[in-house]
Structure formats: structure tokens, C-alpha cells
Amino acid sequence: MKCLCLVAFLAIVITQSYNDLGVEAASRDGFVSRKGVQFILDGKPFYANGFNAYWLTYEATDPATRFKITYAFQNATSRGLTVARTWGFRDGGYRALQTAPGRYDELTFQGLDFAIAEAKRLGIKMIITFVNNYSDFGGRKQYVEWAKSQGQVANSEDDFYTNPLVKQFFKNHVKTMVDRVNTFTKIAYKDEPTIMAWELMNEPQCKADPSGKTLTAWIGEMATYVKSLDSKHLLSTGLEGFYGDSSPQRKASLNPVAANVLGTDFIANHFFDAIDFASIHSYPDLWFPNLNETSRLEF
Ligand SMILES: *[C@@H]1O[C@H](CO)[C@@H](O)[C@H](O)[C@H]1NC(C)=O
Ligand SMILES: *[C@@H]1O[C@H](CO)[C@@H](O)[C@H](O)[C@H]1NC(C)=O
Ligand SMILES: *[C@@H]1O[C@H](CO)[C@@H](O)[C@H](O)[C@H]1NC(C)=O
């Protein structure tokens, strides 16, 4: 879908028992954390009110267009927006961040550095996504292609979730991201309070396993891995929000498009100690081109 950039995201904290892996304490100054079903910032409830700006790194890679980031953030803060969600990836292709497995373009990375530094300066928190479901800017498909070029056998991009080499590539990318030291602020990403949260993937789906179990297993493994490297930041999945087998009654009524097709299970996919909150992406206009406005609202 071309319009991923238009996704309105709505953050909701999951009701979940307190645990060791999640970020629940409000003790670290400047970090967004959670307490029960509340986001907390500097001891007070924090209400995320934000926007998608997938293009930040791309535009900030060229110093001549960095002003676009500044303008966007200034406009956002002047209207009370507090969170920007952006891509922490561009796998292969023009202005790639990761040019090949484990190889990074320093200038592009400095573009992301700039976006984070500018968010910090202007008081915006960021949600940064590690990879794309879809092939825009690389994504799962590019990871699987990389593995194939190293002799791995793969049937489809859904092997992203199970192929050991691909999983290692992804973990390496996570590690590179959290360990990155920002060239502007001199602070490692994993220690940067401007980052509100990481997201595992933009709109993960796995049609190869409609039960959702393949995706659930991948989320569990990767969420634990992210937290093993970075215990200060919140973590979410990036799912659209389609229910699956763990909530059959909702699957039937609220999920006419995706039920039993996309291999996601919103409840099971979030039921991990290492996943701190959930968000949804809603496109009723795209999903129901033939329904009228009233029916879309009902959905
Ligand atoms: C909003 O962005 C525009 C450029 O698109 C810029 O001229 C203007 O100064 C910005 N407004 C604020 C309040 O920052
Ligand atoms: C996710 O990827 C699959 C291909 O594996 C694709 O069919 C699907 O449309 C993608 N979903 C989104 C929301 O882009
Ligand atoms: C919208 O569509 C629904 C279902 O087809 C129908 O019942 C309803 O009358 C329609 N509403 C309008 C305002 O056209």
C-alpha cells in the first residue's frame, strides 16, 4: 500500500502484569515509561499525540533538505503534537541506510542522527521502526533476498520469520541501531530519552501461516532480544490491529477483511512481557471502498 505514510496511529497501553522486561518504572528522567495502562513521563501521565513522518532520514541525509525536518517538527509542536514515528531502516537501494547485511551508509545514518537530534532540540519524542513488512525501502523481501544471495533457500518473504540467517540479519540490525552513537548529540540511541519506543516492524503480516503462530513466535523472540540490548525504551510490534484465533468472537465481527488471511493475532502478538504497548493502524476507506461513510464509521 502506497499510503502507509498516512497511517494515523493511536497508542493504547495494554493491560498487563508488571514484569522485569517491560519498561514500567518512571525513574529515568526524560524517558517515556509505563505504569499499568498509563504512559509516564517525568512522573506525570504522558499522552501520545503524534504523526507519521517516514521520510525524516531520507530528507536529512542531504544537509540541503534538513530544513524540512526542522519545519515539520516546529509545525508539529506549535500544534501540540508530541510524537513522531519514523523508519529506522532503508534496506538497499537509493540512499540506503543498510546497503548490505551489516553494512551501513554513514551519511544516511547521520540523517537519522540529525532527525533525532532535532526532535530532541524541539521537544518531540520518537517511535522508530526497525523494518518494513512490505518491500517499500527494502523490507522483509530485501532481507530474504540477501539471505538467498548467501546460499539460503527461501520460498517467500514469509521465510523472514523463520530462516535462521535472516533472523540473524535482523538481530544485527537491531544491535547496530541501539548501539549507534548519535554524531550530533554524542548519545547512544539506547540511552536517548528522545526515543519513546522501538517498533519491531511496520505492519507485520505472515500469510504463509494464517494461524498467526509463526508471527507470534518471531515477535516473542525478537522482543526479548531488543530488551536484552536496550532496557530503557518501550517496545511495540507495529501491527495494524487485526484479531486472530485468540479472540474468535472479535475476529468474526471486527475483522472482515483480514480474518484468517494475514497471519496476525493482535492479542497473542502482544501478550509478551517484552512488549509494552499496542497501537492500531486503521484504513477503513481503503479496506471498504464500497461501503458508505456511516458503515466505515461503524467499523
Ligand atoms: C511550518 O513550516 C513552514 C514550511 O512548510 C514554515 O515556513 C513555517 O515557519 C513553519 N511554522 C512553524 C510554526 O514552525
Ligand atoms: C505485507 O507483506 C505481504 C507480502 O509478504 C504483502 O502481501 C502485504 O500486502 C503486506 N502488507 C502491507 C500492509 O503492506
Ligand atoms: C450505508 O450503507 C448501509 C449498509 O449498506 C445502509 O444500511 C445505509 O442505509 C447506508 N447509509 C447511507 C447514509 O447511505
| Cβ(234)–Cβ(285) below 8 Å | no
Q: How far apart are CA 258 and CA 264, in angstroms?
A: 9
Span from the CA of 197 to the centroid of ligand 1 (angstroms): 27
Q: How far apart are CA 81 and CA 248, in angstroms?
A: 36
Strand pairing partners for 181? 188
Residue 11: which pLDDT band, with cuts at 50, 70 and 90? very low
Q: Give the strand pairing for 83-87 and 50-52.
A: parallel
* DSSP H or E run through 195: strand 195-199
Residue 136 one-letter amino acid = D
Closest CA to 266 of 242, 237, 238: 242
| Cβ(96)–Cβ(105) below 8 Å | yes
The angle at the Cα of 108, spanning 203 to 176, to the nearest 5 degrees, equals 65
What's this model's pTM, rounded to 2 decimal places? 0.90
Res 158: pLDDT: 97
| Cβ(130)–Cβ(198) below 8 Å | yes
Q: Give the residues surrounding ligand 2 with Cβ less than 6 Å away.
A: 1, 133-134, 157-158, 203, 205
* Span 175-230, pLDDT tens digits: 999 999 999 999 999 999 999 999 999 999 999 999 999 999 999 999 999 999 99
Q: Whose atoms come closest to the Cα of 122: which ligand? A: 1
Res 288: pLDDT: 82
Q: Which atom of ligand 1 is nearest to the CA of 78?
A: 13
Q: Whose atoms come closest to the Cα of 76: which ligand? A: 1
| Cβ(33)–Cβ(24) below 8 Å | yes
| Residue having the nearest C-alpha atom to atom 11 of ligand 2 | 134
* Span 44-81, pLDDT tens digits: 999 989 999 999 999 999 999 999 999 999 999 999 99
| Cβ(159)–Cβ(144) below 8 Å | yes
Q: How far apart are CA 153 and CA 135, in angstroms?
A: 19
Domains of the chain: 4-14+32-298 (3.20.20.80)
Is the shortest distance between the CB of 168 and ligand 1 below 6 Å?
A: no
Span from the CA of 290 to the centroid of ligand 3 (angstroms): 11
Q: How far apart are CA 117 and CA 168, in angstroms?
A: 29
Res 3: pLDDT: 33
Q: How far apart are CA 111 and CA 180, in angstroms?
A: 13
Q: How far apart are CA 196 and CA 181, in angstroms?
A: 17
The more confidently predicted of residues 242 and 188 is: 188
Strand pairing partners for 132? 202
- 3-state class (DSSP) for residue 251: helix
Strands in 83-87's sheet, in edge-to-edge order, are: 50-52, 83-87, 125-129, 195-199, 234-236
- 3-state class (DSSP) for residue 135: coil
Q: How far apart are CA 274 and CA 137, in angstroms?
A: 27
Q: What percentage of the chain has pLDDT greater than the value 70?
A: 87
Q: Which residues contact 145 (CB under 8 A, 6 or more apart)?
A: none
Residue 18 has pLDDT above 60, yes or no: no
Residue 257 has pLDDT above 80, yes or no: no
Q: Whose atoms come closest to the Cα of 74: which ligand? A: 1
